[in-house]
Copies of this chain bind each other. A is one copy, B any other.
Amino acid sequence: MMRTTVTSLTQKMVVAWRKEFKRCMSSIVTRATGKDKQSSQILVSPPLVSLDFPEIWGSSSDHDNPPSGHEICGPRTAAIIDGKSIAEEIRLGIASEVRRMKEYTGRVPGLAVILVGQRRDSETYVRNKMKACEETGINSSLVELPDDCKEDEVINALSHFNEDPSVNGVLVQLPLPEHLDEEKILNVVSLEKDVDGFHPESMGNLAMRGREPLFISCTPKGCIELLIRSGVTITGKKAVVIGRSNIVGLPTSLLLQRHHATVSIVHALTKNPEQLTSEADIVVTAAGVPNLVRGYWLKPGAVVVDVGTCPVEDPTAELGYRLVGDVCFEEAVRVASAVTPVPGGVGPMTIAMLLSNTLDSAKRAYEFT
């Protein structure tokens, strides 16, 4: 029953995406060939922002029906990477360090969160972050602003936290309402308190060899930590990152490369994404498309980290929905050597890394080692 719901939902999404995909493709071709540009221009390469548009997943491959001969029916052999218990272990370590810090310096780390609007998912994420702070002894402050607030109000709240010496980490819960300029707002976050690692200078320092950002974005850092703790060698391995968001896909690909994987980035305009994916030793997927990655997309023995969390209807669940990852879990566990579940895989690690970044920031600020 649940299975049918998921499949039919995915099918509807795929049909909608295909239409959007065709529209986008024709628009890109026009932009890339510069047909909409003045002929007096010296260079023909288009401005980069004109190339941006939402990722619309809808390639020629069929997400629903594997090619014949690719049905997956063997035994479940993959190890399940238990993000919940690994995150718990890390949080215990953080709580212990916070106690030690308090004992020696009289101070504890502080995290400040700015939440704009009343998105239910954002409210849940923020609540979980505040709760995790409380449990580890980290101070937390929350500023909630109305959905129709002005840019200046967000920037003022940010600036206040940038100045406050008791605050070591500042984050703006994304996504912001459309009328607000995310770029302008994120640029205001002090580099020394950018515990989300979303400032472009943090991203540049993550990308560039010989440099190191003060903070690495929480989800990518959590993925790498899961891999290392699961005994997965990254150096020299082929890795595929599915999705190229600023929040997950991009920093994950940069981080895997820093760890010397050979990284390929699969996105909504990749033709035959399953072909490249099926050559990878490590697959990290953050497309936000339920069940996109089928068993036949995977190389036998691959390690699969599923960052996708998409709510799908489920009348049997307490809230009427449940979270589904990008990976068809039932198939993946029959092909891969290790898989993260959804929920209970990457999710808990993201918050643990946020706490860890906040602790690191406080240690730097208070010169406590």
CB pair A42–B221 under 8 Å, yes or no, is: no
At the interface with chain B, which of A12-20, A137-145, A253-261? A253-261
The CA of A211 and the CA of B50, in the complex, are separated in Å by: 10
Q: Given A201-B204, A265-B263, A276-B262 in contact, is the A210-B182 Cβ separation under 8 Å? A: yes
CB pair B212–A48 under 8 Å, yes or no, is: yes
Q: Given A210-B183, A236-B271, A264-B263 in contact, is the A45-B224 Cβ separation under 8 Å? A: yes
Which parts of A262-293 form the interface with B (CB within 8 Å)? 262-267, 269-271, 276
Q: What's the least CB distance linking A24 to chain B, in Å? A: 9
Partner of A203, one of B208, B228, B245: B208
Partner of A49, one of B199, B212, B271: B212
Q: Is A343 in contact with chain B by the CB < 8 A criterion?
A: no
How many copies of this kind of chain does the complex include?
2
Q: Is A234 in contact with chain B by the CB < 8 A criterion?
A: yes
Count, chain A residues at interface, CB 8 A: 69
Q: What's the least CB distance linking A178 to chain B, in Å? A: 12
Q: Is A233 in contact with chain B by the CB < 8 A criterion?
A: yes
Partner of A201, one of B201, B265, B356: B201
The CA of A213 and the CA of B200, in the complex, are separated in Å by: 10
Partner of A94, one of B42, B255, B259, B270: B42
CB pair A43–B356 under 8 Å, yes or no, is: yes
Partner of A208, one of B32, B216, B250: B250
What would 27 A/B residue contacts be, using CB atoms closer than 8 Å? A28-B260, A33-B228, A34-B228, A42-B94, A43-B356, A44-B225, A44-B228, A45-B224, A48-B206, A48-B212, A48-B258, A49-B211, A51-B259, A51-B260, A52-B209, A182-B210, A202-B204, A203-B207, A204-B205, A204-B207, A208-B246, A209-B250, A210-B246, A238-B276, A262-B266, A262-B267, A262-B270
Interface residues of A (CB under 8 A from B): 25, 28-29, 32-34, 42-45, 47-49, 51-52, 90, 93-94, 97, 182-183, 199-213, 216, 221, 224-225, 228-229, 233-236, 238, 244-246, 250, 254-255, 257-260, 262-267, 269-271, 276, 356, 359
